[in-house]
Structure 1
Amino acid sequence: MEVKTKKILIIDDDSRNIFALSAVLKAKKYTCLSAQSAKQGFDALAADKNIHVVLMDMMMPDMDGYQAMRKMKADPELKKIPVIAVTAQAMVGDKERCLEAGAAGYVSKPVNVDELVLLLNKYF
């Protein structure tokens, strides 16, 4: 019997966020990869075809999460990978803006781990 790997790519320009998310998700038996920019994230997605979910920080320099999600949705190989927006933006309308941009889900920082795991379980 093959064990399905729960592989997640975390794209965030703040290494502290990557460290914290990776630590809690690894404790929940997820495999985590990370990238500190959208460009690094696209490189990781090109190199590893077994990434099941992307956790995307929405506010990054160079290419933000909104631009990165649009680029993923335009790519036939990447558009099927669910993206969960992880953002400090928690104002009225921010969740809707993320979902309209193509996010499959939304969690605000600081991340509620139980809420995130519930979202992740939809894709594994």
Structure 2
Amino acid sequence: METKKDILIIDDDMRNIYALKAVLRSRGLTCISAGSAEEGFRLLSQPNNVGLVLMDIMMPDMDGYEAIATLRHSAHAAHLPIVAVTAQAMVGDREKCLAAGADNYISKPIDVDELLVQIQQYLSS
């Protein structure tokens, strides 16, 4: 029997977390959240069922680029797929997210159908 994986949302804006959780839960997905990269690292260092990280890029203490690079070098989370979620949608932003170690990128406002395709891709593999 396959265990259903959780999605970890790391975002400093609780409104974004609330909206993402509402949409994903309505689709039968289980989400947990962290309001900072450090909080996300703590959650991932404990026993968990996380199968995907949705990482906000623009955060005050540690931005998403640095957080993604840190996760890629951590023993407990290096294997996790990470989708960068950002309001930055300028030329080169996608490439910058991927260069930091993200597996994929989605810009805000989020196209829910596109996000669900990405989630399905990573949680089913």
2:57–2:64 contact (8 Å) kept in structure 1: yes
How many Å separate the matches in 1 of 2:17 and 2:7? 11
Q: Does 1:46 align with 2:19?
A: no
CA distance in 1, matches of 2:75, 2:42: 16
Stretches of structure 1 that go unaligned for 5 or more consecutive residues are: none
Identity over the aligned pairs, expressed in percent? 53
CA contact (8 A) 2:45 2:76 kept: no
Per the alignment, residue 23 of structure 1 pairs with: 22
Q: Contact 2:8–2:32 (CA<8 Å) still a contact in 1?
A: yes
Contact 2:6 2:52 (C-alpha < 8 Å) held by counterparts = yes
Equivalents in 2 of 1:42, 1:112: separation in Å?
Answer: 27
Letter in 2 for 1:115: E
Residue in 1 aligned with 2:11? 12
Instruction: Give deviations 1:9-59, integer Å, cap 9, x for gaps.
Output: 000000000000000000111110000000010011112431000000001
Spell out, residue by residue over 1:85-114, the C-alpha distance to the aligned partner (whole angstroms, 9 max, x if none): 000000000001001110011000011010
Q: Distance in 2 between matches of 1:6 and 1:29?
A: 11
Structure 1 CA distance, aligned partners of 2:34 and 2:19?
Answer: 14
8 Å CA contact retained: 1:12, 1:36: yes
Structure-2-length-normalised TM-score: 0.94
Match of 1:72 in 2: 71
Deviates more, 1:34-43 or 1:3-12: 3-12
SS of equivalent residue, structure 1 residue 123: helix
- Following TM superposition, the consecutive aligned residue runs of length 4 or more in structure 1 with deviations greater than 6 angstroms are none
CA RMSD of aligned residues (A): 1.0
The residue aligned with 2:96 is: 97
